[in-house]
Structure 1
Amino acid sequence: MSLIHTEDVLLLAIVTLIGGYQLVSFAKLTGAARRKFKIVYPAVTGNPDFERVYRAQQNTLEFFPIFLCTMWVAGVYFHQIAAAGAGLVYLYGRNKYFSGYTVSVEGRLPGFRLSGKTLYAMLGMSVVGLTHAVLMEYLNINLKVKLLHMYYNKKY
């Protein structure tokens, strides 16, 4: 059993805070759109331009727990730098998604695709990392060593 030290998750924590900042920024933009289009609380409909901003914010909130889970598991069990880098790409994609959606429904697609592909990448890193950890912990099989051994012992 190994202990996790703060330096082992430092980059993940930084990307998490950047993500939190992004959520706050999107909430402020949604509030500004609510004022601009005169949408009185608790209404969330009434103007298509406001509705696109609102949906962009809500969709980002809906995906945030998935983002956090996959990034942190990938960072702890696969590689912190790879997971944090993917997290930054995901947040960039969400920014493109938000800004594109505020212009048009179709404008959301490039950012949505980028962030979706990045979630799948972090999920893949998580599965590989967890598989390795389970094999090490319960079967004493070091997958990294076996793969390196297979690679370097190939006959050409």
Structure 2
Amino acid sequence: MNEKVVENIYLLVIVTLISALQNVFFAQKVERECKTPKGTTSGFERVSCANRNCMDAYPTFLAVMWCAGLCLNQAPAAFAGILYLLVRQKYFIGYLGQTSQSTPGYLFGKRVLFFLFLMCSVGIFNYLLVHYFGSDYKDYVETLTSAASALLLLP
């Protein structure tokens, strides 16, 4: 593979691999709860529901993270991706307790996905500006998104 291509996507690849490991962790939790001899179905239902909810949002997360990284800048996209994985872990663990404990993780995850979607949109808009009008604002936008990614840490 071309070294220049790998240089532009390696952070996104690392986040994607970490997310795959997280999916394995979630699947093992479901399997472990399924094999519990106690026969309680409420624990299994919670774990299964949390896993299903995380898997429902997973393709959206991957799509917007990769689009943001390729269209604009991989560093803030990968940072937001790591934040999303931490939030998803918090959501999953919170769902195992009471479902109200998972709400902060859910809301923060929506905010991270919106940021990644915004990065995608700005990157595509900048490409269209370059292509049709010859105006390139990518450097300004990259600086802005790098600074804005730190704002994701605010509660």
TM-score by length of structure 2 reads 0.82
Who is 1:104 aligned against?
98
Q: 1:30 to 1:146 in 2, by over 3 A?
A: closer
Where do residues 1-156 of structure 1 align in structure 2 (5 Å cutoff)? 5-36=5-36, 47-144=41-138
**8 Å CA contact 1:37, 1:50 repeated in 2:** no
Larger RCO (CA under 8 A, 6+ residues apart):
2
Q: How far is 1:133 from its partner? A: 1.0
Over the matched positions of the two proteins, sequence identity in percent amounts to 35
> Which residue is 1:152 aligned to?
none
1:69–1:146 distance in 2 versus 1, CA, 3 Å: closer
- Structure 1 distance, partners of 2:72, 2:87, is 22
Give the superposition deviation at 1:134.
1.6
* Structure 1 stretches of 4+ moved >4 Å: 144-147
The aligned counterpart of 1:42 is: none
Deviations 1:76-135 (A, max 9, x none): 111110000000000000000000001111111111111111000100111111110121
Unaligned runs of 5+ in 1: 40-45, 148-156
Q: Are residues 22 and 8 of structure 1, via their aligned partners in 2, closer, same or farther at CA, if it must alter by over 3 Å?
A: same
Q: Distance in 1 between matches of 2:76 and 2:102?
A: 26
Give how far 1:139 is off. Answer: 2.8
Displacement of 1:49: 1.9
**Number of matched pairs:** 138
Structure 1 residues 36 and 87: CA distance shift in structure 2, 3 A: same
Q: List runs of 5+ in structure 2 lacking aligned partners.
A: 142-155
Q: Aligned equivalents of 2:139 and 2:10: distance in 1?
A: 27
Higher Rg of the two aligned structures: 1
